[in-house]
Amino acid sequence: MVSEPREAQVTDRVQPGHFYGAGLPYVGLEHYPGKIIAIEGTDGVGRSTQIHLLREWLEVQGYGVIETGWTRSVLMQPTIDMAKASNTLNKLTFVLLYATDFADRLEEEIIPALKAGFIVLADRYIFTALARARVRGVDRAWLRNLYGFAIAPHLVFYLKLDVDALIKRVLQSGGMDFWESGMDLKLGDDIYESFRTYQAKLLREYNSLGEEFGFRTLDARQSVDRIQKNLRNQIGAFLGANEPPASG
């Protein structure tokens, strides 16, 4: 009996630092000493603040560090901003633009940093893309195959916040925008109710992904200092059990 070929898809059974699927055929990762540490969570949970503090701390410890984040590709950011401004993205265009952004950052930022022994701090990783696409009804198997070129991170922290607390933070920080409110899904004419419904669906996807991929969940209602202390303790223990800081 001929066995079916293995799909190049995202799965939780991949060793950290290795491609989820077929990967990039011209890149081998077996001896790359760097690490990927991702912080996931929806807008308003404080990811960027925590990453900024982590970078300062890690550099003091002697580690080389780079940051990468959602839609920060030099190649794709202008295109994504333009497409979002028009409010006309369909769900597949939405997914493919974000996948291209991640692919560009993977090749231009993440892989070179891993090869050099740096720590890559990712302000959201592919899990945000998976969660958002699933809420929009994109086929799960197709989506996992699409991201088979991604590298499994070494640590994923999830800053978890309930919908009511999230709404309060977003309103205090400047209000709700079209995409973070899921207005493209036609969940309602009122942006407040659309935001609540969309974010509730998104949080359910994050929770599901967290169980599947073993996220380290932190309560985002805690103070910035307390969350940072927790992150440093866990990351310090992980790095201490692995290799020493990159030299030079």
Tell whether the model's pLDDT for residue 139 goes beyond 60: yes
Residue 83's pLDDT band, with cuts at 50, 70 and 90, is confident
With 0-12 / 13-18 / 19 or more C-beta atoms within 10 angstroms meaning exposed / middle / buried, residue 1 is exposed
Q: Three-state DSSP class for 16? A: coil
Residue 87: pLDDT band (50, 70, 90) is: low
Residue 13 clears pLDDT 90, i.e. is over it: no
CA distance 231 to 175: 28
* 55 CB burial (10 A radius; 0-12, 13-18, 19+): middle
pTM, two decimals, is 0.89
CB contact set of 112 (below 8 Å; sequence gap of 6+): none
Cα 35 from chain centre: 15
Range of weakest confidence among 37-51, 63-77, 177-191: 177-191
In this prediction, residues 185-202 reach a mean pLDDT of 87
Residue 211 has pLDDT above 60, yes or no: yes
54 pLDDT higher than 80: yes
Q: Which residues contact 113 (CB under 8 A, 6 or more apart)?
A: 34, 64, 66, 119, 120
pLDDT at 177: 81
Which tens digits make up the pLDDT trace of 41-51?
998 899 999 99
Residue 35 has pLDDT above 80, yes or no: yes
Other CB atoms within a 10 A radius of the CB of residue 181 amount to 23
pLDDT score, position 86? 73
Give yes or no for residue 5 having a pLDDT over 50.
no
Query: Looking at the predicted structure, is the pLDDT value of residue 17 above 50?
Result: yes
pLDDT of residue 8: 52
Between 61 and 13, the more confident residue is 61
- Greater pLDDT, 175 or 150: 150
Domain 35-238: assigned CATH number = 3.40.50.300
Asked whether the predicted pLDDT for residue 59 surpasses 80, the reply is yes
Residue 110 corresponds to which tokens in the numbers above? 């993440």
pLDDT at residue 9, rounded to an integer: 63
Output the pLDDT for position 179. Answer: 76
CA atoms of 140 and 69, how far apart (whole Å): 23
